[in-house]
Chains A and B, each alone.
Chain A
Amino acid sequence: MSKKLFKKILVANRGEIAVRVIRACKLLDIPTVAVYSTADKNALHTLLADEAVEIGPPPPRESYLDIKKLVETARAHKCDAIHPGYGFLSENPLFPIACEKARLTFIGPSAEAMRLLGNKVQSRIKMATAGVPIIPGMKASGDNIFQFESAAEEAGYPVLIKAAAGGGGKGMRIVHRREDLAPSVEAAKREAKNAFGDDTVYLEKYIENPRHIEFQVLADDHGNTIHLFERECSVQRRHQKIIEETPSTALTPALRVQMGNAAVRVATAAGYRNAGTVEFLFDKSGSFYFLEMNTRIQVEHPITEMTTSVDLVVEQIRIAAGEKISDYVLEAKQRGHAIECRIYAEDAENNFLPSSGDILYYQEPVGPGIRVDSGVTKGTAVGVEYDPILAKLIVYAPTRELAISKMIQALKDYKILGIKTSRKFMIDILSHPEFKAGNTYTNFIEKHFSERTVDLIPALELAAAVSTVAMAQGSKARPTVVKQAEGLSPWQTIGPWELGMRINK
């Protein structure tokens, strides 16, 4: 890199995505400033950045969502750019506006593009005009329940209530019967208000058993708007993706070209710049509909990185600095197969209830083609204030079959103790014959895993046997945190334990 793209970047996020951005900045030799709430004082992202600044108490509104505080922090610490990550302020048009006023570069699209695409109702209308296929439904959002009722009658049940400002499954409800419509609209409005500060919801026809296929897009200031192929994100729970893969088993080369072109058309129509994702629903007949465009880097971006060798965060930063998309990116090809599993702190056996607590044991899997994007480590306290995503496990292999078996093994080797995670559940999904056959669709989990029970009897015996030994060896006595502050070498404080087996008591 001949010249520095930015002097210093403030990373306005937390968790694994903040860590991911910091790592990309390190590659580009750009120093970073991390921000953290009091709950995240010892979080991984604050430890990895060159500087870390406390910005407030745990509630996001008073810390990670406080635009004024973030911009002031960036100015005070001599940053010239801000990366928003995903979630939080990443799709809030007020953020790039505030950055511009403070002469900071916002690493993302313009406020105008964000505003248009962030509103699902407006973007639907715009994309229909640009000749991109959309799902039948309400032309505009409604205020009273009668508008929803008549739109639902017209589209035919089941229908889907969606937040105009939505994302991540929040503020979204499927309605099968007329009598469920009013309470669902109410619940969706409440969730939307909480998550996005905007309670506008609308209704569209619910496409049954669709696949969710999205295209990664990049656009620069030099007239280049390209796509980097698709990601299939059909395996979801509570409308939230948990397993993503690329390429999609549903696409033929001809469909890939068609949808890729449509994605580029969406970005162009919106005057889009930087990295973004165009999401489509894909139905059984092979028709596809524009769903929305996400104006940020996405959780599942690593699978595209694995199959194209493109570093998307590096490209985001380059584009924001006014550079042309790199030549290697313009020529990128899709090769091999990649899968991502989101590691959530949640209880898959108990309706995906979020799980909180301290991470008592942490060990990442290793091997060729295995990548872990993590925001946690041993000792991290997982609280209830933030999204339950802890880490992402990504694997790459030459074929889909090999990628699946590699992922299953990597999930087994990924050890996180102290909180519940969905690793075992994901192993079961990946081992399911329908998944192996590539027959995934958005209600895959409801259909194949609604009555899931895990046979625990032999496992329980095994667990009891090991626990007995762990107790007998007095695991509690072993120091888990070794402080060097006292002037001691860590080896002196560990005792006879860390190196192997204990000599008999």
Chain B
Amino acid sequence: MINQFAYNEETVETKLKTVPSGFEVSVGENNYFVSEIAPGNFQVILNGAKKMVCCVVKGNRSYIDIDGLLIELEIPSDDGDMASSAAAHAVAKDKIFAPMPGKIVKLLVKEGETVEAKQPMVIVEAMKMENQVNSPASGTVKKINFKDGEQVGTEIPIIELELPVL
């Protein structure tokens, strides 16, 4: 069985082989021996060194804890397409999304305005804290889809940019 996972822009490919007391997984040049010792709790052995790793899979995501370090891996769907809302957001630099559902406290730019990369664009309030969202790139503000005080989700971009043609 061959699997692919994506983390940001890195892709990791794994090969799995079932052995009598668990699984052998090869990733790159390393061979890991993995067994589930309790639900969600995995023991991993690599070259004799043991590690406990916690992992749950939900939908197309895998959530992992390694000694407090959290990693979320995205699992490609059957057609090999990595598209999910979060991944798509990360690639599209011409759309500015709310980092999480919340309320627009203040829009700091207007339609037609030229903006620089990293320029503050909008302040969104969620969990009682104000979060400033900066522009991912330089460009022109093409469209603003919300007004001050409006609730915003993560599906519709708050601001759409026109990027200069390179």
By a beta-carbon cutoff of 8 Å, the part of chain A in contact with chain B is: 170, 187, 190-191, 194-195, 238, 345, 350-351, 353-356, 358, 360-361, 363, 384-388, 411-412, 414-418, 420-421, 423-424, 426-427, 454, 456, 459-473, 475-476, 478, 497-498, 500-502, 504-505
Q: Do residues A354 and B63 form an inter-chain contact, with CB atoms below 8 A?
A: no
Name which of B39, B42, B55, B57 has the most chain A CB atoms within 10 A of its CB: B55
The answer to whether A468 and B71 touch across the interface, beta carbons within 8 angstroms, is no
Cβ of B79 within 8 Å of any chain A Cβ, yes or no, is no
Q: How far is the CA of A191 from the CA of B123 in the complex (A)?
A: 11
Neighbouring A residues of B127 by C-beta, 8 Å: 345, 354, 356, 384-388
Shortest beta-carbon distance from A432 to chain B in Å: 15
Bound together, the chains give a CA A162 to CA B72 distance in angstroms of: 38
The chain A residue sitting closest to B33, CB to CB, is A465
> Are B39 and A354 touching (Cβ within 8 A)?
no
- Note all chain A residues with C-beta closer than 8 A to B62: 463, 467, 470-471
Interface assignment of B32: CB less than 8 Å from any CB of chain A: yes
Q: Are A353 and B131 in contact (CB under 8 A)?
A: yes
Q: Which residues of A contact B36 (CB under 8 A)?
A: 469-470, 473, 501-502
Among B30, B42, B101, residue most surrounded by chain A Cβ atoms (within 10 Å): B42
**CB contact list, B115-161 vs A, under 8 A:** 123, 125-131
Decide if B129 touches A238 in the complex (CB within 8 Å).
yes
Given contacts A417-B56, A467-B62, A501-B36, contact A460 B126 (CB under 8 A): no
B110 at the interface (CB under 8 A from A): no
**Cβ of A427 and Cβ of B39 under 8 Å apart?**
no
Chain B residues packing against A (C-beta within 8 Å): 1, 3, 5, 7, 10, 12, 14, 16, 18, 21-23, 25, 27-28, 30, 32, 34-40, 42, 44, 46, 51, 53-58, 62-71, 73, 75, 99-102, 105-106, 123, 125-131
A476 and B53 contacting across the interface, CB-CB below 8 Å: no
Q: Can you name 24 A-B residue pairings with CB atoms under 8 Å?
A: A350-B99, A361-B56, A384-B126, A417-B54, A424-B67, A424-B68, A459-B66, A459-B69, A460-B10, A462-B51, A464-B25, A464-B27, A467-B57, A468-B3, A469-B22, A469-B25, A469-B34, A470-B42, A470-B62, A472-B18, A476-B57, A476-B58, A500-B37, A505-B18
A394 CA / B139 CA spacing, docked (Å): 48
Given A417-B63, A418-B63, A472-B23, decide whether A465 and B44 contact each other with a Cβ distance below 8 A.
yes
Partner of B7, one of A456, A465, A504: A456
Besides the known contacts A421-B70, A464-B27, A501-B35, 10 further A-B residue pairs in the complex with CB atoms under 8 A apart: A385-B127, A386-B128, A417-B63, A424-B68, A462-B51, A466-B55, A469-B16, A470-B55, A475-B55, A501-B36
The closest CB in chain A to the CB of B18 belongs to: A504
Q: Which A-chain residue is minimally distant from B69 (CB atoms)?
A: A424
Q: Given the complex of chains A and B, what is the CA–CA distance between A414 and B106 in angstroms?
A: 38
A464 near B5 with CB under 8 A, answer yes
6 A-B pairs with the lowest CB-CB distances in the bound complex, closest first: A467-B62, A354-B127, A465-B32, A465-B25, A464-B12, A417-B63
Least CB distance from A168 to B in Å reads: 8
Residues from chain A with Cβ under 8 Å of B130 in the complex:
187, 190-191
**Does A466 lie within 8 Å of B129, measured CB to CB?**
no
Q: Which of A360, A424, A472 contacts B1 (CB under 8 A)?
A: A472
Chain A residue nearest in CB terms to B58: A360
Q: Which B residues are in CB contact (< 8 Å) with A469? A: 16, 22-23, 25, 34-36, 42, 55
A463 touches B68 (CB 8 A): no
Asked if residues B27 and A465 are in contact (CB atoms below 8 Å), the reply is yes
* Chain B residue nearest in CB terms to A414: B68
Chain B residue, CB-CB nearest to A351? B131
Shortest C-beta distance, B4 to chain A (Å), equals 9
Least CB distance, A297 to chain B, in whole angstroms:
19
* Inter-chain contact B101/A356, CB cutoff 8 Å: yes
**CB closest residue in chain B, given A186:** B106
* Highest count of chain B CB atoms <10 Å: which of A187, A386, A467: A467
Q: Determine whether the beta carbon of A464 is less than 8 Å from that of B54.
A: no
Decide yes or no: A466 and B53 within 8 Å by CB, A356-B100, A361-B63, A460-B7 being known contacts: yes
Residue of A350, A412, A470, A473 most packed against chain B (CB within 10 A): A470
Q: CA–CA, A141 to B80, complex, Å?
A: 60
